[in-house]
Chains A and B, each alone.
Chain A
Amino acid sequence: MAGDAPRTAVAADADATETAALEAPDPGPGPTWRGSRRYLRWESGLALALVGTVLLGVGLSGQFLTSTNILNLGLSNGEVAIMTLPMMMVVIAGEIDLSIQSTLALSSSVVGYLWLHHWSMPLIIVTVLVLGALLGLINGLLVTRLGLPSLAVTIGTLTLYAGVAEIVLGATIVSNFPAAYTSIGVNAVPGTGLSYSAVIFVVLAVVTGVVMHATAFGRSVFAIGANADAALYTGIRVKRVKTTLFVVSGLVGAMAGVLFTFRLSTAEYGNGNGLVLSVVAIVLLGGVNIFGGRGTVAGVFLAVLVFSILQNALLLTNFPQSASGIVTGGLLLVAILVPNAGDLLRRGRRLVRRMPGGWS
């Protein structure tokens, strides 16, 4: 503690006016848990981008606004959209869960495996959800009890869970699921015109929004991400909150796995491969700070829409499917560059100004 003391005092001595004037630019995009000007700017930007992509879609193809297409839109990215919500919470807490994609794959495999072994579907679903929560618990315990970085842990379990999925189902592809369930994957929820996964996403987004922005638990998540030490010194159970988030992440990953299986009517171990990058890209595009402490559900919600509509619009115009990675990657870069553009410019200018002065 003694070592920290001088820094405190330096900061304390900084003139009050000065502190206000020279406050370092925020380290990343996105808001804290309260409204601020930056918050408005980022989300209005996203809203504009959303309008832009819709106009692009309408302009590019007459089919864009048809009800079939809107259903498709919700279908093709439903699982990704659902997974952005727990990912957002984990990232705000200053961690990451890359294994969620393999949780999806393993859940899908287990659905197939148990179906082959004549379990009843409701029981299978419950079992798989419990399994997902357990997979998340493993991540959470490794991170909080052993103090390992979640990036490393979940890269490990990403591979591990995928490996288990492959063992469970091997080369088998299960596709003889009852129509009552697979129709969930392809039909609209009666009276809405939206797919089941889209509706589940909207409901979960509302729940997540309330939890993150209006409960003590959500406040703790933001506090942990912004400063885990200060959170601990305020009596927040840092380890427990983080573990809970990983469990939720596993649970939602399993839910996505079930939906994915029904939508494709297929259970195989490779399901969902590569989705986690889209999930992370959307979360960052939504204004969530990759270092934790900042982000809103509204931002992530808008980012999901922008991402899905853009992909859909490009699909309608026969944009080569193989190049869709360009969209994901491009959005990710935009998400990182735009909020920091002012800062980067300033730094560049300062550098130029210093050069003739002979900085040694």
Chain B
Amino acid sequence: MPPVAAVAPVLVLEHATKSFGPVRALEDGSIELYPGEVHALVGENGAGKSTLVKILAGVYQLTSGRLLVDGAAVALGNPAAARQAGIAVIYQEPTLFPDLTVAENVFMGRHPLRSGRRVDIRAMREQVARVFEGLGVRLEPARLARGLSVADQQIVEIAKALSLEARVIVMDEPTAALSAYEVDRLFRVVERLRASGAAVLFISHRLEEVFAICQRVTVMRDGRQVLARLLEGLGPDDLVKAMVGRDIVLRGEETRRAGGDVVLSVERLAREGVFADISLQVRAGEIVALAGLVGAGRSEVARAVFGIDRYDAGSVVLHGRPLPKGSPTAAMGAGVGLVPEDRRQLGLVMPFSIEGNVALASLARLRRRGLVRRRAERAFAADWAVRLQMKFGRLSDPVATLSGGNQQKVVLAKWLSRRPALLIVDEPTRGIDVRTKAEVHRLLIELASEGVAVLMISSELPEVMHLADRVLVMREGRMVAEMDRREVSEETIVAAATGQLQRLGA
């Protein structure tokens, strides 16, 4: 662990509160950021992390409490004021101008000028190139921002922060959408920022990342700071305990009977330019993980199996019967369920109520003489809400009012209530908090032990290691490895996913 500077904090937030009408989003937000340190901010969803970040970004104004920069109290009335105070926020998904070059994006609004108020393009590109060099990344300043990966866009934002001479850099879950390789590169950049004396606030749900790059940690729970200290001497379990306020068991039971009849059998499935020669089997009672980098074609395979997308060659067989192409309705009829990756766009109808969403895939069962029975619908939804321990006001509330984890439970309820023979889950715990994540894991294990075949796409290796009976690895649209639970390790998965492993016998 790098040495920690013993100096005064550059930014201090003291007993900050933030209310929205009667709702208190932040009860007691406190944090101290030191130069030359990477500071982790962790907490469950709803703990107040986002509110705190928005206060630092100048988006929200404090209801009470105070904010000191270099020991002097400041009021950040808007994002421009925050920028002026030397605070830069790198969001998970930056919004660049796609039709401008990387350099122009970095200098947006304050381009260097030469005579006649013309933009000095060369000076601009040289400066940006120097910044990139300092960060140790290769990125062409003259290329258009369009088509940059999320990881590269974040680098551009960081360059922008540096050119603004920001001393506090806030990163709000920067790694959520990055592949393992991109995370590594981001960490090297963060390390350079730290070494150059910047104070970095790093927010992540992934505790292994926190321990990899941070020196200090603040844990929040229910809008309050509950732990703030150097990371040294702490372990993941300590943080989890502080986050949830009690001990929780992160690992499920290890013993599970796997290997019933083959439920899903995919033979040489191919879709032009997306994936090719994909064969896999999932048996009843088995959890099969589909691992690989973001963009390896895993979600696309899931979509083809479920019938959202058509495929050009191969076959999908369920319980020995071929499934017609391109028909989710037929797939559902045959007992397939798909919990998509993007729950807001694909999993839920946001304006609908909780019960409306839960029942949406089961309306045929809730009908009598063609009419949907509201009472049956509510009872149906209430049953699943209790089983999955959802937290909500009323079942008739719009699903949009729920937290991310509870929204995911609604999507799960929608599919579990159909009693699927095969459940495909795509990134089932992305962006949800530790406690709900553990519940979802337990649920998937329960399902498998009840004989459901589960095909899980996940980019989180601990999740894969924890749940999967078998691991299939995809790379660039092809299946590159199949591993048994006994032979699987994080290293072999990463090696296969990044192409550093010889093709194993499948």
How many Å from the CB of A310 to the closest CB on chain B?
31
Given contacts A34-B353, A215-B372, A230-B345, contact A235 B177 (CB under 8 A): no
Among the listed B21, B303, B341, B363, which residue makes an inter-chain contact with A21, where contact means beta carbons less than 8 Å apart? B21
What are 30 A-B pairs with beta-carbon distances under 8 A? A1-B303, A1-B340, A2-B295, A4-B345, A5-B427, A6-B176, A7-B93, A7-B342, A8-B341, A9-B176, A9-B404, A10-B93, A11-B404, A12-B403, A13-B45, A15-B49, A16-B391, A17-B23, A18-B20, A21-B21, A32-B352, A34-B396, A219-B356, A223-B360, A227-B348, A230-B348, A234-B361, A234-B414, A236-B360, A359-B78
Interface string of B165-183 (1 = CB under 8 A from A): 0000000110011000000
Establish whether residues B150 and A6, one from each chain, have CB atoms under 8 Å apart when the complex forms: yes
B46 touches A16 (CB 8 A): yes
B157-215 at interface with A (beta carbon < 8 Å): 172-173, 176-177, 205
**CA–CA, A214 to B371, complex, Å?**
5
Q: Which of B332, B349, B404, B426 contacts A14 (CB 8 A)?
A: B404
Q: Does B463 contact A (CB under 8 A)?
A: no
**A15, A22, A226: the one within 8 Å of B45 (CB):** A15
User: A34 CA to B394 CA in the complex, in Å?
Assistant: 13
CB distance from A204 to the nearest CB of B (A): 17
Residues 224-257 (chain A) with a chain B CB within 8 angstroms:
226-227, 229-237
- Tell yes or no: A145 within 8 A of B by CB: no
- Residue B109 lies at the interface, judged by CB distance under 8 Å to chain A: yes
- Contact flag A6-B177 (CB < 8 Å), given A12-B405, A17-B23, A223-B352: yes
The answer to whether residues A12 and B351 also contact, given A215-B372, A354-B78, A359-B78 and a CB cut-off of 8 A, is no
* A67 CB-CB contact with B under 8 Å: no
**B residues near A230, Cβ cutoff 8 Å:** 345-349
Q: How far is the CA of A246 from the CA of B280 in the complex (A)?
A: 41
- Contacting residue for A231 out of B80, B91, B349, B404, CB 8 A: B349
B92/A10 in contact, CB under 8 A? yes
Partner of A216, one of B363, B402, B427: B363
Tell whether, in the assembled complex, residue A1 and residue B401 are in contact, meaning their CB atoms are under 8 Å apart: no
Q: How many residues of B contact A (CB 8 A)?
A: 78
Q: Is A274 an interface residue (CB 8 A)?
A: no
- Asked if B344 contacts A21 (CB within 8 A), the reply is no
In angstroms, Cα B367 to Cα A210, docked, is 13
Which 8 pairs from chain A and chain B are nearest by CB? A12-B404, A12-B431, A16-B403, A9-B431, A21-B20, A6-B93, A216-B363, A16-B46
A26 to B303, CA, bound (A): 31
**Other contacts beyond A12-B407, A357-B77: 18, CB < 8 A:** A2-B294, A5-B176, A5-B177, A7-B93, A8-B431, A9-B430, A11-B404, A12-B405, A13-B49, A13-B50, A13-B205, A14-B50, A16-B402, A17-B46, A19-B403, A214-B371, A215-B372, A230-B346
- Do A358 and B80 have beta carbons less than 8 Å apart? yes
> Is B47 engaged at the interface, CB distance under 8 Å to the other chain?
yes
Binding site for A on B (CB under 8 A): 20-21, 23-25, 45-51, 77-78, 80, 91-93, 109, 150, 172-173, 176-177, 205, 294-295, 299-300, 303, 306, 308, 328-329, 331-332, 338, 340-353, 356, 360-361, 363-364, 367, 370-372, 391, 396, 398, 400-408, 414, 426-427, 430-432
> For the complex, what is the distance from the CA of A7 to the CA of B294, rounded to whole Å?
15
* Closest Cβ neighbor of B406 among chain A residues: A16
Query: What distance in Å separates the Cβ of A111 from its nearest Cβ neighbour in chain B?
Result: 33
A13 to chain B, nearest CB (A): 6
Binding site of A, secondary structure by majority: helix, strand, loop or mixed? helix
**Docked pose: A244 CA to B281 CA in angstroms:** 38
CA–CA, A359 and B294, complex, Å? 38
Most interface-central of B177, B343, B406, B407 (chain A CB within 10 A) = B177
For the complex, give the distance between the alpha carbons of A229 and B328 in Å: 12
Also in contact, A210 and B371, with CB within 8 A (given A2-B295, A18-B51, A226-B351):
yes
| In contact, B356 and A34 (Cβ under 8 angstroms) | yes
Which residues of B lie under 8 Å from residue A358 when comparing CB positions?
A: 80
B351–A32 CB distance below 8 A: yes
Q: Does A263 contact B (CB under 8 A)?
A: no
List chain A residues, Cβ under 8 A from B402.
16, 19
- Closest CB in chain B relative to A61 CB, distance in Å: 43
**Inside 8 A of B340's CB, which chain A residues have their CB?**
1, 233
A22 vs B54: C-alpha distance in the bound complex, in angstroms?
A: 13
A residues 286-302 near B (Cβ < 8 Å) are 293-294
Find the residue from A1, A219, A231, A360 having the highest chain B CB count within 10 A.
A1
Q: Say whether B294 contacts A216, CB under 8 Å.
A: no
- Interfacial chain B residues near A177, Cβ < 8 Å: none
Known contacts: A5-B341, A21-B23. The answer to whether A15 contacts B350 by CB under 8 A is no
Rounded to whole Å, the gap between the CB of A39 and the closest CB of chain B is 12
How many angstroms between the C-alpha atoms of A20 and B45 in the bound complex?
A: 13
Does A8 lie within 8 Å of B351, measured CB to CB? Answer: no
Contact between A360 and B346, CB atoms less than 8 A apart = no
- Structural contact, B351 and A293, CB atoms closer than 8 A: yes
Q: Are B109 and A8 in contact (CB under 8 A)?
A: no
Tell me the complex Cα distance, A17–B20, Å: 9
Which residues from chain A contact B414 at a C-beta distance below 8 Å? 234
**B-chain residues with CB within 8 Å of residue A34 when the two chains form the complex:** 353, 356, 396
Q: Within residues 32 to 64 of chain A, which ones have a CB less than 8 A from any CB in chain B? A: 32-34
Query: Given A15-B25, A15-B46, A15-B48, A4 and B371 touching (CB < 8 A)?
Result: no
Residues in A neighbouring B341, C-beta threshold 8 A: 1, 4-5, 8
Known: A219-B363, A226-B349. A6 touches B48 (CB 8 A): no
Question: Complex formed: what's the CA distance from A277 to B23 in Å?
Answer: 44
B403 and A15 within 8 A (CB): yes
CB proximity of B26 to chain A, nearest CB, Å: 9
Contact between B50 and A229, CB atoms less than 8 A apart: no
A residues 97-124 touching B (CB-CB < 8 Å): none
B residues less than 8 Å from A227 (CB atoms):
345, 348-350
Residues of A175-214 at the interface with B, using a CB-CB cut-off of 8 Å, are 210, 214
Residues of chain A lying within 8 A (CB to CB) of residue B346: 4, 229-230, 233
Write out the residue numbers on chain A whose beta carbons fall within 8 Å of the beta carbon of B328: 232-235
Closest Cβ–Cβ distance, residue B333 to chain A (whole Å): 8
A288-B20 Cα distance, complex, nearest whole Å: 30
**CA gap between A225 and B376 in the complex, in Å:** 24
A294 with B351: CB separation less than 8 A: yes
Q: Which residues of B contact A23 (CB under 8 A)?
A: 398, 400-401
